[in-house]
Amino acid sequence: MKVSVLMITYNHQAYVKKAVQGVLSQKTNFDFELIISNDCSTDNSHEVINQVIQAYDGNVKIKYFNQEQNLGIHKNFRYVHSMANGEYMAICEGDDYWVDDYKLQKQIDFLDGHEEYSLCYTRFKTLNQVTKEFVLDYNAKYFTNKEPSIDFNFQIFQKGWHLGNQTLVFRNRYFDYSVYMRYEYIKDTHVITHLLNNGKGKCLNFVSAVYRIHDKGIYSAQTEYQGYFIGYRTHQEIYLNNKTNRFLKQRHLMSLQNFINVNLKKGYYLRAFCLSFKLFFRSPKFLTLLRNLMRIIKRILRV
């Protein structure tokens, strides 16, 4: 099998039909499979998925698993990955969808011709389900001269890259399954870090997918504090497993400072105090420590 498309879904009855149809409409000169894992949804996702599969009249092999117990997003992704046989892996979660019928063909053509690359992205749009507004990703700053593609590396990753996992295709033999056991949480940043350690990355300059923002999204429904906390924990454990990578260290330090800032904003002064010294021990800059301590003192005196 040339490509395995990995689709995890949970309570996406309003969206999953379009997600599945976007994959099945792909036009390719190679075989690919779609692997769907419904994580014990409590809505009608199972019925919707079955209807789409039964109505499909094509050559794509479909593997559908309706989980009897909720695995959670990380274990569910690991499950669909373990069921895949493809040389390449592509990702589309059940609340996102593809909008270019030649998405897979374009990305596989690139990867087949460039063995040194482990992964390939494209551009994408976000769709706010409340406002119905489409917004192009935040990566336009890297395509100032309308380049057809750019290299994606740790330096860009550290500076700030708007991740679009719904566009990701990666070379499966460059992925070590032990990465799932190495971390407490597995997010897209863990996967990308691992792949970049084993090869180069590329982003093709065309829009291939849409990422939905809605109240049932795993990450879009998080509070501001939860978002910064998860970001801090994620970048910390990635750095601790890749200590020689200066870009990952900078990303960790930045997320740690951001978490200090949000603790100050929320009035968690003791935690901000402890985190400030943690930042100092990781990056011994006395002025940064002094600045953080002064901000804490000013906040306390203002109360």
Each residue's pLDDT expressed in tens, for the chain with a length of 303 residues: 999 999 999 999 999 999 999 999 999 999 999 999 999 999 999 999 999 999 999 999 999 999 999 999 888 999 999 999 999 999 999 999 999 999 999 999 999 999 999 999 999 999 999 999 999 999 999 999 999 999 999 999 888 889 899 999 999 999 887 777 778 767 788 889 999 999 999 999 999 999 999 876 555 556 889 999 999 999 999 999 999 999 999 999 999 999 999 999 999 999 999 999 999 999 999 999 999 999 999 999 986
Do 122 and 203 touch, CB atoms closer than 8 A?
yes
Nearest to 38 by CA among 50, 55, 29: 50
Write down the pLDDT at residue 303: 62
Write down the pLDDT at residue 187: 79
Helices (H), 31-141: 45-55, 73-82, 103-113
- Into which CATH architecture does domain 3-213 fall? Alpha-Beta Complex (3.90)
Q: pTM here?
A: 0.89
* Max CA distance (Å), the chain: 69
How large is the angle between the packed helices 224-240 and 188-196, nearest 10 degrees? 30
Write down the pLDDT at residue 217: 55
Q: What is the Cα–Cα distance from 74 to 218, expressed in whole angstroms?
A: 11
The domain ranges of the chain are: 3-213, 224-302
Q: Quote the tokens at residue 25.
A: 């409409």
Write down the pLDDT at residue 103: 98
Q: What is the Cα–Cα distance from 303 to 301, expressed in whole angstroms?
A: 5
